Amino acid sequence: MPYSYYFSKLIDPNPMKKILVFAFLLVGISAFAQDRKPNKNVGGQFSLGVRSTISLFSDAGSSMGTGAGGQFRIRLYNFMNTEWFGDYLMSSIGTIGTRTDYHIGWSVMFYSPKQKPFKKYHPKPYFLTGHCFDYTRIAGNNPFYQDPNHSVASRWSSAVQAGLGFHIPFCERVDLSLSAQYMFHLGKDITAVTRTAVNGDEFLYIDKEEASINGHLLISFSLNIRCADLWHDHQKKGGARKAAPDPDGQNPKHIEQ
Amino acid sequence: MRKIYFLFASLLAGNFLFSQATPPPADDNSLSMANTQGLLRTQLTLTPSWMMKGTSGNDSTSISSARTNVYLHGTLEYYWTEHFSTRGDIYYFLNKNSAPGGLKKNHSLQVGCSYHFMKGMSLDPYVGVCGGISLVQISPMDFMKGDSTFLPNYQVPSHLDPVWAPRVGMNFYGQHVFHFFVEAQYLMGTYRPAIGPILSINEIRISAGLGFNFVILHKEATVRPAI
**Closest by alpha carbon to A213, among A131, A163, A158?**
A158
In this prediction, residue B19 has a pLDDT band, given cuts at 50, 70 and 90, of: very low
How far away is chain A from the Cα of B220, in angstroms, using its nearest Cα? 17
Q: What is the largest CA-CA distance in chain B?
A: 110
Q: Nearest CA to CA, how far is A35 from chain B (Å)? A: 13
Q: Which residue of B has its CA nearest to A49?
A: B111
Q: Where in chain B are the domains? A: 34-225
A·B CB contacts under 8 A: 89
Domains of chain A, CATH where assigned: 42-230 (2.40.160.20)
B9 and chain A: CB distance < 8 Å anywhere? no
Model confidence over A27-81: pLDDT tens digits?
444 444 444 445 556 778 899 999 999 988 656 566 788 999 999 999 998 889 9
User: What pLDDT is stored for residue A58 in this prediction?
Assistant: 58
Asked if B57's CB is within 8 angstroms of A92's CB, the reply is yes
Do the beta carbons of residue B111 and residue B132 sit within 8 Å? yes
pLDDT at B197 over 80: yes
B70 vs B126: CA distance, rounded Å: 24
What's the CA gap between A12 and A18, in Å, rounded?
Answer: 9
Residue B135's DSSP bridge partners are B107, B160
Chain B residue numbers touching A221 (CB-CB < 8 A): 129, 131
- A164 and A180 Cβ atoms separated by less than 8 Å: yes
Residues of chain A neighbouring B129 (CB-CB closer than 8 A): 221
Establish if B112 touches chain A: CB-CB under 8 angstroms.
yes
Please list every residue in chain A whose beta carbon sits closer than 8 Å to the beta carbon of residue B131: 50-52, 68, 221
CA distances in angstroms from A179 to A113, A167, A238, B26, B115, listed in the order given: 19, 9, 43, 53, 20
Is B143 within 8 Å of A144 when comparing Cβ atoms? yes
Four-residue CA torsion sign, B172, A51, A102, A145: positive
Residue B39 banded pLDDT, cuts 50, 70, 90:
confident
CA distance A207 to A191: 5
pLDDT at A30: 42
- pLDDT tens for A190-222 read 888 888 877 777 788 888 777 778 888 999 999
With CA atoms as reference, report the closest residue to A257 among A163, A129, A167, A127. A167
Residue-wise pLDDT tens digits, A144-157: 777 777 888 888 99
Phi-psi region of B34 (alpha: psi -120 to 50; beta: other; left: phi over 0): alpha
Say what the pLDDT of residue B17 is. 46
- Return the residue of A nearest to B111 by Cα: A50
Query: Span B53-62, mean pLDDT?
Result: 61
Q: Do A174 and B154 touch (CB under 8 A)?
A: no
Provide, as residue numbers in chain A, all residues whose Cβ is less than 8 Å from the Cβ of B113: 170, 174, 176, 223
Residues 177-206 of B with CB under 8 A from A: 189-190, 192-198
The whole-angstrom separation of Cα A52 and Cα A57 is 16
Is the CB of B80 less than 8 angstroms away from the CB of A173?
yes
The answer to whether B57 contacts A63, with C-beta atoms less than 8 Å apart, is yes
Determine contact, residues B69/B91, Cβ cutoff 8 Å: no
pLDDT band at A244 (very low <50, low <70, confident <90, very high): very low
Give the span between the Cα atoms of B111 and B143, in whole angstroms.
36
Distance separating alpha carbons of residues B174 and B226, to the nearest angstrom: 10
Q: What is the pLDDT of residues A106-136, one digit of tens each?
A: 999 999 888 777 788 889 999 999 999 999 9
Does B9 or A198 have the greater pLDDT score?
A198
Res A67: pLDDT? 93
Residues of A in contact with B58 (CB under 8 A): 94-95
| Residue B65 DSSP label | T
Beta-strand relationship, B84-93 and B39-51? unpaired
Contact B57 A94 (CB under 8 A): yes
Q: How far is B84 from chain A, CA to nearest CA, in Å? A: 7
Answer whether residue A180 shows pLDDT above 90.
yes
Q: Domain B34-225 falls in which CATH fold?
A: Porin (2.40.160)
Residue B133 in contact with partner chain A when CB distance is under 8 A:
yes
- Using an 8 Å CB-CB cutoff, list chain B residues near A218: none
Query: End-to-end CA distance of chain B, in Å?
Result: 51
The DSSP output letter for B9 is: H
User: Which among B10, B117, B145, B192 is the top mutation candidate for probing chain A, defined by the most A β-carbons within 10 Å of its own β-carbon?
Assistant: B192
CA atoms within 13 A on the CB side of B170: 6
Q: Does B216 reach chain A within 8 Å, measured CB to CB?
A: no
- Check: CB of residue A135 under 8 Å from CB of residue A163: no
Chain B closest-CA separation from residue A170 CA (Å):
7
Rounded to whole angstroms, how far apart are CA atoms B56 and B59? 5
Does the pLDDT at position B1 exceed 50? yes
DSSP structure string for chain A: --HHHHHHHHS-SSTHHHHHHHHHHHHHHHHHHSPPPP-SS-TTEEEEEEEEEEEEE-STT--EEEEEEEEEEEEEETTEEEEEEEEEEEEEETTTEEEEEEEEEEEEEE--SS-----TT--EEEEEEEEEEEEEEEEE--TT---TTTSEEEEEEEEEEEEEEEEEESSSSEEEEEEEEEEEEEEEEEEEEEEE-TTS-EEEEEEEEEEEEEEEEEEEEEEEEEEEESS-S-B-GGGPBPPPP-SSSS-TT----
Q: What is the pLDDT of residues B103-158, one digit of tens each?
A: 899 999 999 999 999 886 688 899 999 999 999 998 888 877 666 667 788 888 89
